[in-house]
Amino acid sequence: MRLTRNSWILIASFAVLVIILITTAVLRDTEEYVSKVEIALGTTVRVVIASDKNPALIIESVLREFRRIEEKFSVNLADSEISRINGNNGQPYEMDEEMAFVIERALTIAKATNGAFDPALGNLINLWGFDKIGDVDFKGRVPSDDAILAAVASSGYENVEVNGVYITLNNGVKLDLGGIVKGYAIDRGIAIAQEMDPKATGYIDAGRDIGIIGPKFSSDSWSIGVQHPRSDNPGEYLDVVYLEKGSIVTSGDYERFFIIDGVRYHHIINPKTGYPVVKTVSATVISSTAMDADALSTAAFVLGGEFASVILPSLGGQGLFVNDEMEQFTTEGWSFFTEKR
């Protein structure tokens, strides 16, 4: 059989296509990821990057940003800016642009969640000691009901007054941005990596709160497991999601807690009662920024899965929530992320 000219062209085109596909696959496999782990913000921060530029330098710059943010936002450092705001005796304090940006977002989410997420619980968190639970000599204890009631009375975002760049804390309230600043740090880390190399890919994982720098091998999604909240096996997942961008954050009762007389006391406080939230054990939220995912996961934990699964999408989050009976609730859009694209 004689092949026509068109057939030869077709066969040649096919051969070229196969060569291109094989070459791409080989190149993709050789795209190397560099990673580094460091303790910052009281948790383990892992930065994973592939870049043609200088991945080690990019990682160093991201981790330096985490250290800078910790120095500014840590309530445990007496001369941090947040401590200066808290110690300003109810007088107006002039914030810089960054502080104003984070506080404004925190207050917006506080209002939108009817105070489930509340950045002004500093007195309660300090009373329970959850700001120091990472210390080696930390010993959990349950405060008296009176002390809790007093701390509830001097807590709450309604007492935070912002006038332009000035912030005033009324009624003795103190800020604690522990439920949002880890997310903000991840967003800043991503921005720095992308500024240094717009083609960089990888992710930042700060204590299982994850923000994507860019898709795996420039085109694939990263697969991320949602930890089973009551399994001792860190590889046992409730679900796996696939992300090429954005962020996924989990708030759980299983990492920062103490148990007294069989009762688990953990670090997410119900602002209304002043006690750790009961009935939720895990709340995972996907959002376009890690800052929003962080605040919304804390809010969802307080609100409970049944309610959170209905209202989260209107606040820009999709999520998976688990209650104390291990019942799972998901938002309508969650399944989009559980299918590999």
Residues that bind ligand FAD (CB under 6 A): 41-43, 70, 73-74, 76, 117-119, 121, 125, 130-134, 176, 178-179, 181-182, 207, 209, 251, 256, 267-269, 271, 294, 297-298, 302
Contacts of Mg ion in 88-127 (CB under 5 A): none
Contact call for residue 131 and Mg ion (CB under 5 A): no
Whose tokens are 């969640």? That residue is: 113
Name which of 258, 338, 332, 267 is nearest 301 in CA terms. Answer: 267
Q: HSE on the CB side for 208, CA within 13 Å?
A: 19
CB of 97 to Mg ion, least distance (A): 23
Residue with smaller CB distance to ligand FAD, 85 or 302? 302
CB of 96 to ligand FAD, least distance (A): 16
Q: What sign does the CA torsion over 79, 255, 226, 49 have? A: positive
Q: Where is 237: in which H helix or E strand?
A: strand 237-243
Burial bucket for residue 313 (CB in 10 Å: 0-12, 13-18, 19+): middle
* Residue 181 site contact among Mg ion, ligand FAD, none (CB < 5 to 8 Å, cut-off depends on kind): ligand FAD
For residue 119, give the amino acid letter. P
Label residue 312 left, alpha or beta by phi (over 0 means left) and psi (-120 to 50 means alpha).
Answer: alpha
- Distance (Å, whole) CA 155 – CA 329: 30
* Residue 253 site contact among ligand FAD, Mg ion, none (CB < 5 to 8 Å, cut-off depends on kind): none
CB of 276 to Mg ion, least distance (A): 14
Contact call for residue 298 and Mg ion (CB under 5 A): yes
Residue with smaller CB distance to Mg ion, 42 or 179? 179
> Within a 10 A sphere around the Cβ of 303, how many other Cβ atoms?
23
Residue with smaller CB distance to ligand FAD, 118 or 197? 118
- Distance (Å, whole) CA 341 – CA 326: 29
CB of 283 to Mg ion, least distance (A): 9
Contact call for residue 294 and Mg ion (CB under 5 A): yes
Q: Name the residue whose CB lies closest to Mg ion.
A: 298
Residue with smaller CB distance to ligand FAD, 43 or 328? 43
Q: Residues 6 or more apart from 205 whose CB is under 8 A from it?
A: 45, 46, 47, 48
CB of 317 to Mg ion, least distance (A): 11
How is residue 317 written in tokens? 């989050």
Residue with smaller CB distance to ligand FAD, 48 or 127? 127
- Distance (Å, whole) CA 188 – CA 98: 11
- Distance (Å, whole) CA 19 – CA 38: 42
* Residue 176 site contact among ligand FAD, Mg ion, none (CB < 5 to 8 Å, cut-off depends on kind): ligand FAD
* Residue 209 site contact among ligand FAD, Mg ion, none (CB < 5 to 8 Å, cut-off depends on kind): ligand FAD
Contact call for residue 179 and Mg ion (CB under 5 A): yes
Residue with smaller CB distance to Mg ion, 86 or 297? 297
* Residue 337 site contact among Mg ion, ligand FAD, none (CB < 5 to 8 Å, cut-off depends on kind): none
